[in-house]
Structure 1
Amino acid sequence: MGLSKVGTQMSRMTGLRSLMEDVASAMATTTGTRWLNLSIGNPAAIPEVTTMWREAAGWAVADSFSDAVAYGASRGAPALVNAIADYFRRHLGWNIGPENIVVGPGSQMLCFAAAALFAGEDGSGARRIGLPAIPDYTGYQGICMVPGGIAGAESGWRVGADRSFHYELDLDATARRTDLGMLLVSSPCNPTGRSLRTDEQDALIAIAERMDIPLFLDHAYGRPFPQIGPTFAPPVLHPHVVNCFSLSKAGMPGERVGFAIGPERYITPMVSFLSNSVLHASGLAQAMAARALSSGALDEVVASAIKPFYAERRTLTEKLLLDAMPADVNWRLHANEGGMFGWLWVDEDWFSDVDLYADLKKRGVFIAPGRSFFSGPLESGTHSTQCFRITLTVDEKDLREGIGRIGEVIGAASPHRVGSRPPLSL
C-alpha cells in the first residue's frame, strides 16, 4: 500500500530531523565516548526555573488534578485562557477575550494548524507559506502538507568591522509575491538570534494587510517570556496579526504548551482544527501554566534567572569563540539580539557545514549544519552551506570543550593560512 500525496509529504525526513536521528543513534549505540551535544534545542536547566515549575506542578496535582486530567475544551482550559487574557490586558493593555485565544500542544502545532488552514489549494490556486526572514526556524519547513508550499525570501547581510555580521530582510521580495496564504516569522529568530525591528514588523503587517492574509509572529524566544536577549519590536495586536507564544524556552519544553492570540476570524478555525486532530493540549501542563502566569512566578524567574543566565552565557560564548577559532579563517558570529544559539558563518570557499558536522562527530561533538534553516536549492560554496548553529544551553564545561574542538577542526580543515582577516574582536 502506498502513501497519499499528503502522506508522502508529511512522512519525509527533513534535514534537521535526520540529524537528530543520527545524534540519538550515535549516543545510544556508542560506548566509551563522552559526547558534547551542541546541536540541541532544549533550554538550559536553570535551578530557579526548575523549582518554579516543580512548585506549579505540585499545586496543579494537589489543587486541580481531577479536572486537569479530564477531557477539556479544545480552545484551552478555561483557567489558562482566562489567565492569558488577564495577563496581556495587564501587561500590554490588550482588550482581548477567550474568542481571541487558542491553546495548543506547542506553538509548532499551532503553526501546523495555521499552515493547513491558510496555505494550500483554494479556489484561486495554490497559496504558499511566506517565510520573509530566511534563514529561519527549520521546523517551518515541515509544516506544509503540499510539495513546494514554502516560499522563502533569503536575507542579505552586512558585515561588521569585527567578527560579527547581521542579516537584512529583503522585504521587497516578499511584497512582490502574489501566491501567499500566510506569513510566518520567528523573532528572535532560531537559529540566528535576529530580532525584527519595529519598522520591519510594521512593513510585514502592511504586506499582510494588503494581501488580506495573516501574519504569524512566533515569539518563542522573545517577549514577554522567556525574553532571551534584547528584542526590539514588541508583540502587537492587529487585525492581520496572530501572535504565537510558547512555554518551551521558559523551562517546560517537553510538556508542549503554546498559545496564539489574534483576531477571532483566524483563531476560531484553529480551535476547530485542534478539536478535529488532537482535541486539546495536556490538562496538567495547562494547569501549571495558568498558575505560573496568574501568580507572577513566571515573570519573576524571567527577570531574576532566565535573562541574566543567557546574557552571561552569550558573553562567555563570544570569548570562547575568539580564543578557539583560527585567526586566519574568515568566520563571523551573528550579532546578539536574542535567542539561545550562536549562529556562525565561515566565509571560505572550502568550508562545508555538513563536512564540519562529519568531522566534529569523529571528535565527539555535534553541531547543527546551517543548510536546514534555508529554503530553496543549495549550492556548494555559498552562504547557505557555510553556516552552522551551536547551542548556548549545555553545561559550561561542555560548551568550553565543544567550542575548543570546533576551532581545532576548522583550523585543521583550512587549506591555506594567508590573506587579510578581520581582527579578533566582537
Structure 2
Amino acid sequence: MTETMDQKHSTWANRLRENQGIRSLMEDLGKQTGHPDEILLGGGNPAHIPEAEAIFQETFANLAKEPALRALLGDYQAPIGNDHFREIAAEYLSSHFGTSLRKENIAFFNGSQNAYSYLLNLHSGPMADGSFKKILLPIVPEYIGYADQTITEGVFVANTPMVKQTGKNRFQYELNKTSFDLTDIGVLAISRPTNPTGNVINLSDLEWMEERTKKQNIPILIDLAYGNPFPNLIGKEEPIHFENGRTLSLSFSKIGLPGVRLGIVISDEDTIETLSSFAAVGNLAVGNLGVYMMEQLFQKNLLTQLSENILRPFYEAKRNLALALFTDAFQKLGVEYEIHDPMGGFFLWIRFPSLSITNHQLYHLCKDKRLFIVSGHYFFPGLNTDFSHTKECIRLTYCRKEEELARGAQILAEIVASHQAKSE
C-alpha cells in the first residue's frame, strides 16, 4: 500500500486492507477453479449431504408455492426480523435452551459473522463512561473471523491456554485459570465447539468464568455455529442453555445452508434493542429467505431430526476417516505431528512441532501444489506471549470426499517431511 493510499483512508480501512485471515480464507474458498487437482481443505463450507439437501429442496419448493412468495421477494423485514418470525424462533428455541424466551430476546442477522461485527463493537473500545474496554478470548486459538471485526484497534486480549497431552500424537487446549484476568475487559468471546480446534469447553469451566464475570457485569458471547441445538456437533459434552449474562449466536450455515446467510442472536432485551439500531444502519433489514425457511424448519421440527440422524453421524464418520488418512500419511513419511482432539465441528487442528518453516510458509507451499489449508497463525488475536503453536499449527476441513482427503494428506505429509528440523 502506498503512502498516498494510507493518507486517503481511515486507520480502520487501512487495517482492513492489510493481510486478513478471514479474507484470505474466503478468497481461497471463492476462487476455486474446478481444476481436477484442486484439494480444498481450507474453507468452512459444510459438506453436501444428499439427505440434508433433500429436506432443504422440499422446504424451498414449498416457499415457491406459498401465497407469501410476493412478500418473500418484494418486502423488507424489520432490521432484526419481523415480530412474527421472532415469536416463532422464541417459541422453538425455548425448549432447546431451557428457558422461556420472548421475541424481545431474538434478533436475526445476515449470518452470525454479521451479528458479531455488532456484538464485539458493542462491548469494546472507548466507552460512554470514559473507560476503554477490551475483548477477552479465554482460550486461544479462536475463530479466525473475530480478529478484524472491531473498529478500534488493539482491543483483543488472549489468555494463553494450558496444553494437555491426551494420548500419542494427541493433545487438548484447556482453560488456564492461573492467568485469567478481567482487568479492563468488556466482554468474553467463545466458540463452542471452537473453530479451529474442535474443542468443546466444558460447562464447569464456563460456570467458573461466569462466577467472576457476573461480579463485574461482563457478558459472555458464545458462538454456537457448530453447537447445539443445530447442527449439534458437540460430541459427548452437555448442551449450552441460555442464562442472564450470556449472548448466544446460532447459524444456518453449518446445517448446510451457508448461502442463505441467516444468523440468530439470543440475548437480553437491552442488547437486542441496541443490535436493532446497529442493524438498521448497517443492513436496513435482515434478508427474507432465511427466516422464511426457518419458519418451516422450526414448525415441522425438522432440525432435531436432521442434526441427530444425519449431520452428527455423517461428520463423525468423516472425522474418523480423516484421522485415519492423515495419521497413516504422516507415519509413513516420518512426520512429527500432534492433532488436537476433534471433539466437535468439522476441522482438524494439526501441530508440527519440528517444522523448520512457519505455518504461513507451509500454507503457500501447499497452495503451490493446489492444496488449500489455513495457516494457524491467524487464530491467536491478542496473544502477546511467545507460544510456539502460533507458528506450528494448521487447520483443515474434513468435509471433502475421501479421495480428496487422501491426496491432501499425502501432499501435506510430503511437504512437512521435507521441511522438518533435523534432530541432533
Fold similarity call, TM over 0.5: yes
- Deviation, structure 1 residue 187: 0.5
- Structure 2 residues without counterparts, runs of 5 or longer: 1-6
1:126-205 matches, cutoff 5 A: 126-174=132-180, 176-205=181-210
The 5-angstrom pairing of residues 314-333 of structure 1 reads: 314-326=319-331, 328-333=334-339
Alignment correspondent of 2:64? 61
Matches within 5 A, 1:181-260: 181-230=186-235, 232-260=237-265
Q: Deviations over 1:102-133 (max 9, x none)?
A: 11111111111112221110123211111111
Alignment of 1:11-410 (within 5 A): 11-21=17-27, 27-28=32-33, 34-63=37-66, 64-69=68-73, 70-122=75-127, 123-174=129-180, 176-230=181-235, 232-326=237-331, 328-348=334-354, 350-376=356-382, 382-410=388-416
Cα distance, 1:284–1:22 mapped onto 2, change above 3 Å? closer
Moved more, 190-199 or 352-361: 352-361
Cα 1:377–1:259 change in 2 (3 A) is closer
Moved more, 204-213 or 261-270: 204-213
- Equivalent residue letter for 1:84: A
Offset from partner CA, 1:111-170 (integer Å, 9 cap, x none): 111122211101232111111111000101011111101111121201133111000112
CA contact (8 A) 1:243 1:261 kept: yes
Q: CA deviation at 1:299?
A: 1.6
Aligned 8 A contact 1:16 1:368 in 2: no
Map of 2:417 onto structure 1? 411
In the alignment, residue 61 of structure 2 is paired with which amino acid?
G
Deviations 1:172-211 (Å, cap 9, x if unpaired)? 433x232111111101000000001011111222232122
Q: Any conservation in 1 of the 2:171–2:340 contact (CA below 8 Å)?
A: yes
Q: Size of the alignment, in residue pairs? A: 414
The amino acid across from 2:380 in the alignment is: F
CA contact under 8 A between 1:229 and 1:311: conserved in structure 2?
no
1:22–1:97 Cα change, 3 Å? closer
* Structure-2 change in CA distance of 1:171 and 1:273 (3 Å): farther
Instruction: Please tell me the residue identity of whatever aligns with 2:21.
Output: G
In structure 2, the CA distance between the partners of 1:110 and 1:281, relative to structure 1 (3 Å rule), is: same
- Alpha-carbon distance between aligned partners in 2 of 1:323 and 1:170, rounded to the nearest angstrom: 33
Distance 1:247 1:381, change over 3 A: closer
Aligned to 1:6, what secondary structure does the other structure show?
helix
Displacement after TM superposition at 1:94 (Å)? 1.5
Q: CA shift at 1:372, angstroms?
A: 0.6
Change (3 A) 1:92 1:374: closer
Aligned structure 1 segments of 4 or more residues deviating by more than 6 angstroms: 377-381
Distance 1:378 1:44 in 2: 36
Query: CA shift at 1:11, angstroms?
Result: 4.1
Q: Are the counterparts in 2 of residues 127 and 149 from structure 1 also a CA contact under 8 Å?
A: yes
Amino acid at match of 1:228: L
User: Could you tell me whether the CA contact under 8 Å between 2:42 and 2:373 is conserved in 1?
Assistant: yes
- Is the Cα contact below 8 Å between 1:103 and 1:258 reproduced in 2? yes
Structure 1, unpaired ranges of 5+: 420-426
C-alpha contact 2:161 2:176 (8 A) present in aligned 1: yes
Q: Deviations over 1:186-244 (max 9, x none)?
A: 01000000001011111222232122121111010011100124152422222211111
Q: Secondary structure at the match of 2:139?
A: strand
Query: Which SS does the other structure have where 2:147 is aligned?
Result: helix
Q: Is the partner of 1:151 in helix, strand or coil? A: strand
- Residues 185/380 of structure 1: CA separation in 2 closer, same or farther (3 Å cut): closer
RMSD over aligned Cα atoms: 2.2
After TM superposition, give the deviation of residue 22 of structure 1 in Å.
Answer: 5.5
Residue-by-residue CA offset, 1:318-344 (whole Å, 9 max, x unaligned): 111221004643311111210100110
Tell which deviates more after alignment, 361-370 or 88-97.
88-97
For 2:410 and 2:46, locate their aligned partners in 1 and report how far apart those are by CA, in whole Å: 22
Distance 1:216 1:193 in 2: 18
User: Contact between 1:378 and 1:385, CA under 8 Å: does it hold in 2?
Assistant: no
